[in-house]
Structure 1
């Protein structure tokens, strides 16, 4: 991403105990912008002036979103909703929306021995990369996406979240 490129990130604290992490909205905005910068550096995308909305929410809300939009009646850590290509082609600067669930994030961070803030930044990066077209349906896609996540997170001084795992495929 060129130094002049600007990405607007709107972070909404909707539900859950997010106020317990002061600065969560700033951390998420930095992570989203870093993911955009990483993808732009690699693929020379032009998303100057783009907008991304992030909803910090709870398991109940993300479960409903997951059920209604993906047909999966369970909570998950992060969901991404890219703006359709036809809208982007028509000049819509909104790249899409991301939702992150507090309780699932907290359980995963504790189970994996990761700082909550690091895992939050990772999920924000992961969700942003989905908005930019990355996926992990195949091993090759997962390896490419995880490599980008590693580079972006390293730039944020966050340790490699995949150091001891295999590529994660969509279930």
Structure 2
């Protein structure tokens, strides 16, 4: 994976509970932070956003669950929640929270060809795409978002399969709240 030319920063916070898994998946915690930041930057670049900042927090299900309940009124853990603050391309500001435990669970599905590492990177890409204006609440925007995911993932060296169910289908609980926050829920 190469560095993209950008004035966009992606600050990655890894909760203590996630550190052991990420160290194994990526080789080290430093490499994990770098690759997660590259995923956010690559996703923002798909929509021409290369100025500003995106905060990325990697947490467990116990941490994302109350965030999902408070901001989206969903009383369960989820994969990723996005908080877009400013979007005026090329400028973007936002944050996302992604669950490494949900990545483990979803990657274990027999129909999912992604590793937990790749699944987590996809959550960061997906969440960032919400921050830069993508929506996945109806078929046409969802298809456009899936194409953007494939472009961003390819930019970080991961080829997504053409049509795995986890990438093409979203649950009926997918939501983008009226205040701009959104949840991924790939499974």
TM-score by length of 1: 0.82
Aligned to 2:141: 141
- CA separation in 1, counterparts of 2:56 and 2:128? 9
Question: Is residue 9 of structure 1 aligned with residue 10 of structure 2?
Answer: yes
Q: Which contiguous aligned blocks of 4+ residues in structure 1 show a shift greater than 4 angstroms? A: none
Question: Is residue 62 of structure 1 aligned with residue 76 of structure 2?
Answer: no
Matched residue pairs, number? 157
Show structure 2 runs of 5+ residues with no match: 23-27, 174-187
Aligned to 2:54: 52
- CA separation in 2, counterparts of 1:7 and 1:15? 26
- CA separation in 1, counterparts of 2:158 and 2:97? 21
| Cα RMSD after superposing both structures | 2.1
Aligned to 2:93: 95
Greater strand content = 2
- CA separation in 1, counterparts of 2:19 and 2:162? 25
After superposing the two structures, state which structure 1 stretch, 17-26 or 142-151, moved more: 17-26
Q: Give how far 1:168 is off.
A: 2.6
Show structure 1 runs of 5+ residues with no match: 41-46
Match 2:103 to one of 105, 129, 151: 105
SS in 2 for 1:97: strand
> Cα deviations across residues 97-123 of structure 1 (Å, max 9, x unaligned)?
100112111111122242122111111
TM-score by length of 2: 0.76
Match 1:76 to one of 64, 78, 82: 78
